[in-house]
Structures are given as structure tokens and as C-alpha cells.
Amino acid sequence: MYGFYTTPSANIHLLLSQDIALDRNDERMRTNFPYDLTLKMDSNPSLPGLEDFLRSLERVFFAESDVKLVAGKNGENQLILNLRCRLGILDVLYHYRQGTWGYTSPDTCPGGETDHLTVLLQHLQNQNSKTIDLEEINLELDDMLIVIRSIGPNSIALELENIFTALGKHYVHYTQGLAAMPYEIYIPVIETAPTAPVLPGEENPFHKFYDYWAVYYESDTDARIYSLKQRQLLAEDLYYSDSE
């Protein structure tokens, strides 16, 4: 069985993702998500260095941006980042491979290593006393919404490039042989069935990004589960969980 990964301190994706879906999908809204209306969310956060951080992201991702802030249980600042990029997924994957989107490759722009998300986030952190991390990125493309949720500290920033490598590698499979373009991909879906324990050092701590995704198609009412290991859509029903 499978469930969307959520953290007790930041279940706010369930609100933001639906807001975007309302704009892009004829006011259809999924209602089988859990809600947490007790979270303190700031839609107009004021953090030192935040404007420079967003401007740098807009340049690197060819996007317009806005950010919301959720206060974590321990007072940390968890950012929910919305990026609106007027490119389709194929254009994004092409420019990503060329090192001209999502990060700046040193091969195409000397000194471009400073444009990696990890470095930009660290620059923002250096200007603030409280811990800052990305809880979620909503990337709204012309033909697809990609939602990436954190699965641990710095997980999005550290793994974003690998996630887009996986999006390119699996494109033919999650588009069902190029026959069905999904309008949303939610990363990751966490398998909740018991599994054998993994010994320290045996596995990538962020491997859950690359197990299962939720994929939404116009022809289906509910999400389909895509297995990256099997490179196919699974037959199991998807349910939603508040816990890991």
C-alpha cells in the first residue's frame, strides 16, 4: 500500500497543490487529501536575503516565483516555493541536459556553480539565524505541474538535479509510450508496507524520491502510482496518509 509522504509540521501542500490545480484544470479539485488548518503560514514572508534568493531562482529556472513560509515545530523556517515556468516538460528536460535550466553548468557559464540550488539556499541561510529549508517546490510548467515534497533536511536542494535526471529517464514510461501526458506528477509517494530494515551506509538516504511517484492523467479520476524500479504504472489503489 502507498501513501503521500507528509510531515506533521508541514502538511500545507494539500492546500497549495489544490490552489494550482484549480487554475489549470477547469476548477476540478481533489477532495481526498487530509487537511491541516492549524498551521501558521505566512503568504508574504520577510526574511533577510529572500528577494535576492527569489531573483536568482527566477533567472536559473526561467520562471516567476513566489514563496510561502510555514513555521516548523522547532521554530525553523520551511519554505514552500512556487515557480511558474512558461516552458513545457520536454523543453525543460532539454535545457536541463544542456546545463542552462535549473542550474548553470560551469561548462556553459564559468562560475555557474554558484547557481546551484544548494548554494543559493546556503546564501539565504547565512543571512538568517533560524534554520531555513525547502518543504516543497511546486513547478508549474505549460503542460504539467511537478510537486516535490521534502523527505528530510536539505533533501530537495541536494536531490533536485537527480530528480530531473529521473524525470528525463522515465519520460517514455510515465507518458505511457508518449501516448498520455500527465498534468501533474507528485514526488514522492512513500510505500507504507513494512520493509526489511536497511543498515546504515547501505542506501542513499534520499532513495524514497526514486521509488514511487503519483501521476495524474486527464483520463483518470484519481492518481496512478508509477514505480521507477519497474518502470510502469501499478495497479494498486492509492490512499492518502498523514504519517510516514
Q: 65-74, 105-114, 156-165, 185-194: lowest mean pLDDT where?
A: 105-114
More confident: 171 or 96: 171
- By three-state DSSP, how is residue 217 classified? coil
- Report d(CA 191, CA 32) in Å as an integer: 18
Within-domain flag for 187: yes
pLDDT at residue 21 above 90? no
Residues listed for the chain: 244
pLDDT score recorded for residue 27? 35
- By three-state DSSP, how is residue 137 classified? strand
pLDDT score recorded for residue 164? 95
Structural domain range at position 12: 2-233
Highest mean pLDDT among 5-9, 25-29, 33-37: 33-37
pLDDT at residue 128 above 80? yes
Within-domain flag for 240: no
Across the range 117-130, mean pLDDT stands at: 92
Within-domain flag for 18: yes
DSSP code of residue 38: T
- By three-state DSSP, how is residue 235 classified? coil
Q: What percent of the chain has pLDDT over 70?
A: 68
Within-domain flag for 168: yes
Q: 102-111, 136-145, 232-241: lowest mean pLDDT where?
A: 102-111
Sign of CA dihedral 58, 213, 32, 157: negative
Within-domain flag for 93: yes
Residue 2 has, within 13 A of its CA and on its CB side, a CA count of 21
For the chain, counts of helices (H) and of strands (E) = 6, 10
Within-domain flag for 238: no
Within-domain flag for 241: no
pLDDT score recorded for residue 29? 31
pLDDT score recorded for residue 44? 67
Read off the pLDDT of residues 41-58 as tens digits, 9 standing for 90 and up: 777 678 899 999 999 999
> What pTM was computed for the model?
0.78
Number of separate domains in the chain: 1
| Average pLDDT of the chain to the nearest whole number | 78
pLDDT score recorded for residue 34? 40
Within-domain flag for 60: yes
> Which of the four pLDDT bands, split at 50, 70 and 90, describes residue 16?
very low
- Report d(CA 142, CA 158) in Å as an integer: 25
Q: 134-138, 190-194, 223-227: lowest mean pLDDT where?
A: 190-194
- Report d(CA 242, CA 35) in Å as an integer: 9
pLDDT at residue 208 above 60? yes
**Phi (first) and psi of residue 24, to 5 degrees:** -100, -10
